[in-house]
């Protein structure tokens, strides 16, 4: 590579940064993949979602005091059935809808284990709704314009960390449409 072409590359890179910088001046650059994000487990430990890269994830905003709370049983069954095929269920408690997840991390964990035998990964409570407090995880998931309207909304995320499908709360873990989306993501 000649000195002239290196200089042109540096100049082009600087120009791109100058144009893009105002777009991200209000916050961090958007994530390229769900698997590039970090969070905290329900137990308070740092968690790198990169550990799930190469898997198909079903990401769910969960709540302990919701009419959809019995879906925990179906989510656990889905996880147990498909984890060896490369599917993981990721639960993100949220108190965004109806104040239906008021508990502490310890209370949420105990409730899930006692009532539904949950063993799939659970993370710290977060905000799903758009706004200044929204979690980077849901900012990424909602890039396509679909954010949860209630608890137990589901995203199917492909092995590449990109959203493959979105389902509202009333689509159960047993539903054919969710299962078909998971199978399609596994096939890619």
pLDDT for 145 equals: 93
Q: Are residues 124 and 175 in the same domain?
A: yes
pLDDT for 28 equals: 55
Query: At CA 92, angle to CA 91 and CA 95, rounded to 5?
Result: 135
Q: Are residues 11 and 66 in the same domain?
A: no
State the 10-residue block means of pLDDT for the chain, 188 residues long. Answer: 46 38 47 95 96 98 97 98 98 97 96 97 97 96 96 98 98 98 96
pLDDT for 29 equals: 57
Q: Are residues 72 and 160 in the same domain?
A: yes
Q: Are residues 95 and 3 in the same domain?
A: no
Q: Are residues 21 and 36 in the same domain?
A: no
| pTM for this entry | 0.84
User: What is the chain's alpha carbon radius of gyration, rounded to the nearest angstrom?
Assistant: 19
Q: Are residues 95 and 5 in the same domain?
A: no
Q: Are residues 57 and 40 in the same domain?
A: yes
Q: Are residues 48 and 116 in the same domain?
A: yes
pLDDT for 9 equals: 43
The Cα 188–Cα 175 span in angstroms is 21
DSSP label at residue 28:
P
The domain in which residue 176 lies consists of 31-187
Among residues 61, 95, 115, 151, the one annotated as catalytic is 115
Specify the 3-state DSSP secondary structure of 73.
Answer: helix
In the chain, the number of structural domains is 2
Q: Are residues 179 and 125 in the same domain?
A: yes
Residue 37, domain CATH = 3.40.30.10
Q: Are residues 59 and 91 in the same domain?
A: yes
Cα atoms in the Cβ-side hemisphere of radius 13 Å centred on 115: 15
Annotation says 115 is catalytic: yes
Q: Are residues 93 and 23 in the same domain?
A: no
Token readout for 160 is 């590449």
pLDDT for 15 equals: 37
Helix 105-116 with 71-82: angle, nearest 10 deg: 80
């Amino acid at each position: 590579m000649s000195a002239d072409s290196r200089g042109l590359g540096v100049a082009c890179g600087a120009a791109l940064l100058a144009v893009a910088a105002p777009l991200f001046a209000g916050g961090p650059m958007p994530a390229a993949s769900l698997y590039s994000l970090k969070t905290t487990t329900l137990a308070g430990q740092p968690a790198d979602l990169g550990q799930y890269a190469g898997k198909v994830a079903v990401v769910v905003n969960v709540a302990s005091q919701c009419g959809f709370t019995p879906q925990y049983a179906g989510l656990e069954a889905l996880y147990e059935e498909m984890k060896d095929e490369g599917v993981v269920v990721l639960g993100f408690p949220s108190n965004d809808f109806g104040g239906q997840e008021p508990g502490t991390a310890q209370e949420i964990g105990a409730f899930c284990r006692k009532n539904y035998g949950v063993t799939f990964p659970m993370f710290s409570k977060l905000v799903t709704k758009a706004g200044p407090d929204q979690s980077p995880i849901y900012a990424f998931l909602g890039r396509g314009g679909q954010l949860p309207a209630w608890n137990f909304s589901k995203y199917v995320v492909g092995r590449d960390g990109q959203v493959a499908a979105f389902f509202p709360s009333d689509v159960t873990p047993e539903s054919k449409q969710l299962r078909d989306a998971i199978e399609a993501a596994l096939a890619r």
